[in-house]
Structure 1
Amino acid sequence: MTNSAKRTRVIGCGNPLMGNDGAGVLAAEMLKELRPDIDTIEGGTGGIGLINDMEGFDRIIIIDAMLGIGENKGDIKIFYETPPVIPSTMSIHDAGISEVIEVAKEIIPGIEIITVGIEADFVEEYSEYIDPEIIAGIDKALKEIVIILEK
């Protein structure tokens, strides 16, 4: 199956009430404006419920703010395999993105999952402010996603 024939969905994850952690959700909103032809949804803080949003698709691209993936705030890193498990300050009662990807690969045969991480550097509690470097990282991430989709 060629990339253009793959049913693809982009999922933006994060919590917009925790500052830079909202980068993935903001990226999804921006992608919807930029490219309404791309199936894009907001996955919020994700968890195992994201698997329902992946069913019926051949390829999933997840955009998420992450810690420890880049040297500078706003750096992006594309993971074609499951990203490493990075300890989270979020609740231990829900699965992180790496665990969700592993479970999805087990129960959705043949699914391709690409993760585009944006280095958050710092996640502030109870703030809607996203640092300018993160906004620049979102712009870079969206360009990379469009390139991936057009290959």
Structure 2
Amino acid sequence: MTLSKTIRIMGCGNLWMGDDGVGIHTVEKLTAMKDKLEGGASLSDSCFLNLPAESLSCLSEVDIMDAGVSGLDMLCFLEGFDKIIIIDALKSDQNLGAILRIKGEDLLDGEGVGKMMSSHDVSVPTVLGIAREVQGLPEIVVYGVEIQKHPDEVNLTTEMSPEVAAAIDRLIPLVLEEIRKDLVA
């Protein structure tokens, strides 16, 4: 089975702002999983979170990148892919560590939630709006993890809250299932 679309997973955020780094930490873990799979590691390895082989098999076909707080640079990261999965922190009315799935068109149409990705120079919704007008957009899916502090509050730390750190292991199966939707026999 192969993917019917070219897919990129982008982790956004700032590792020096605690919970805001959740997107980066998630793609780091996905990259480690992909590297171990490609290196022939046993699926019983603890890094695979006891996920079934069929969930992990599609990971080798996707591009995974740390987009940091890329701002307008994100425009070039969208090119050449049919689907982009963005993982980032958000601040809404959900519980700390809650995971929300937002379609790109909902985010662009103002249906997105809360204060998303505002630690970036230019917000993700703004970049997506520019991309839609200038270069067209691939399919966009955003997985946002509810953070404790407002992203504009500066609290330099590399430590995430336990709730947000725990969300990463709940988020990875959701991202893998998102990818599996595009598998073809």
Distance 1:133 1:90 in 2: 20
- Where structure 1 has 5 or more consecutive residues not aligned to the other structure, the ranges are none
> Is this contact kept in 2: 1:77–1:117, CA < 8 A?
yes
> Is this contact kept in 2: 1:85–1:98, CA < 8 A?
no
Matched residue, 2:48: none
Please state how far the C-alpha of 1:48 moved relative to its aligned partner.
Answer: 1.1
Specify whether residues 17 and 65 from structure 1 end up closer, same or farther in structure 2 by C-alpha distance, changes over 3 A only. same
Match of 1:62 among 86, 106, 109: 86
Matched residue, 1:53: 77
Q: Which has the higher helix share?
A: 2
Matched residue, 1:131: 161
Tell me the number of residue pairs that the alignment of Structure 1 and Structure 2 aligns: 146
Deviations 1:66-109 (A, max 9, x none): 111x5211100000132346277647xx3101111222223333
Matched residue, 1:25: 24
> Is this contact kept in 2: 1:11–1:61, CA < 8 A?
yes
After the TM superposition, which residues 89-108 of structure 1 pair with which residues of structure 2 at under 5 Å, given as runs?
90=119, 94-108=121-135
Match of 1:74 among 82, 90, 97: 97
Specify whether residues 103 and 85 from structure 1 end up closer, same or farther in structure 2 by C-alpha distance, changes over 3 A only. farther
What is the TM-score of this pair, normalised by structure 2? Answer: 0.72
Distance 2:167 2:135 in 1: 30
Specify whether residues 87 and 136 from structure 1 end up closer, same or farther in structure 2 by C-alpha distance, changes over 3 A only. closer
Structure 1 counterpart SS, 2:85: strand
Matched residue, 1:9: 8
After the TM superposition, which residues 29-40 of structure 1 pair with which residues of structure 2 at under 5 Å, given as runs?
29-36=28-35, 37=60, 38-40=62-64
Specify the structure having the higher radius of gyration (Cα): 2
- Where structure 2 has 5 or more consecutive residues not aligned to the other structure, the ranges are 36-59
> Is this contact kept in 1: 2:7–2:84, CA < 8 A?
yes
> Is this contact kept in 2: 1:11–1:28, CA < 8 A?
yes
Q: Tell me which amino acid in the other structure corresponds to 1:77.
A: L
- Percent identity among equivalent residues? 29
